[in-house]
Amino acid sequence: MPDLLIPSYENGLPQLALFDLDGTLIDSAPDLADAVDFMLLESGFSAAGEALVREWVGNGAPMLIKRALAHALELEEPQQVAEAQFQSAASIFYDRYDEYCCVRTRIYPGAEELLQHWRDQGVAMGIVTNKPARFTQPILQALKLEQYFAISLSGDSLPVKKPDPTPLLHACEALQAQPGSTLMIGDSINDVLAARHANMKIACVTYGYNHGEDIRDANPDWVMDSLIELK
């Protein structure tokens, strides 16, 4: 693995840094698991627990809900969940998570130190998350993180989400940065694929949510145990 100095950028710093949110900057799994378990219990199933929810996060709230229902119904694929069942479970999940989306959610150690450092160094920063916007904004506000970001794109901000590269390219265009001078920082295969398709370098954290797989298997350009290593 190459060291974390980023030689392809001027001064070793990217012009623009795009951050994934869940599993990269914040550990949101405890509150997500609470909302999933509330939804499952209200729908007449058993709770799934946080460990499983950590494996289901990463492709947006609708997919998280479908994965939880597929597990409860012992279906092989989340796509097999009936639309009516999904809709009623989703409204329970959304109401619950609207109210309790930032109770036990925490910023990972080292994350804010990197954000402060890069802000001082003049690196432009943005959020590209698959989380729906109705949750992204309140969480960024509650954790006082919104001040760092010039742009924040959520899973429903555009017609497509990661692993599609469109949100990453959209952020570059909005902030007049070249993909080749932009660094994506994430925790999952969705971040790696989106960055690859956008011709961006990708650095990944090992502690996040990657569907139970080791992120090294996705071959990101850099792997780190803490965001502080980027500083």
Ligand X SMILES: O=C(O)COP(=O)(O)O
Residues found near ligand X in the complex (CB under 6 A): 20-23, 57-61, 64, 129-131
- Of 25, 28, 52, the C-alpha closest to 40 is 52
Cα–Cα distance measured from residue 34 to residue 145, given in angstroms and rounded to the nearest whole number: 23
Q: Residue 111 corresponds to which tokens in the numbers above?
A: 């994350």
Measured between alpha carbons, how far is residue 155 from residues 40, 142, 143, 171 in Å? 23, 19, 20, 13
- 72 or 183: CB nearest Mg ion: 183
Name the minimum Å distance from CB 144 to ligand X.
Answer: 18
- Residue of this chain nearest to Mg ion (CB atom): 23
Name the minimum Å distance from CB 28 to ligand X.
Answer: 8
Active site includes 20?
yes
- 105 or 129: CB nearest ligand X: 129
Say if residue 22 carries a ligand binding annotation.
yes
31 in contact with Mg ion (CB under 5 A):
no
- 64 or 227: CB nearest ligand X: 64
Q: Angle formed by the axes of helices 133-142 and 83-99, to 10°?
A: 20
Could you say which of 14, 22, 61, 227 contacts Mg ion (CB under 5 A)?
22
Say if residue 221 carries a ligand binding annotation.
no
- Of 193, 195, 170, the C-alpha closest to 180 is 195
- Of 148, 147, 146, the C-alpha closest to 133 is 146
Q: Residue 44 corresponds to which tokens in the numbers above?
A: 């007449």
Say if residue 20 carries a ligand binding annotation.
yes
- 122 or 155: CB nearest ligand X: 155
27 in contact with Mg ion (CB under 5 A):
no
**223 DSSP β-pair partners:** 204
The residues annotated as belonging to the active site are: 20
Query: Binding site: what residues are annotated?
Result: 20, 22, 187
Query: Binding site for Mg(2+): what residues are annotated?
Result: 20, 22, 187
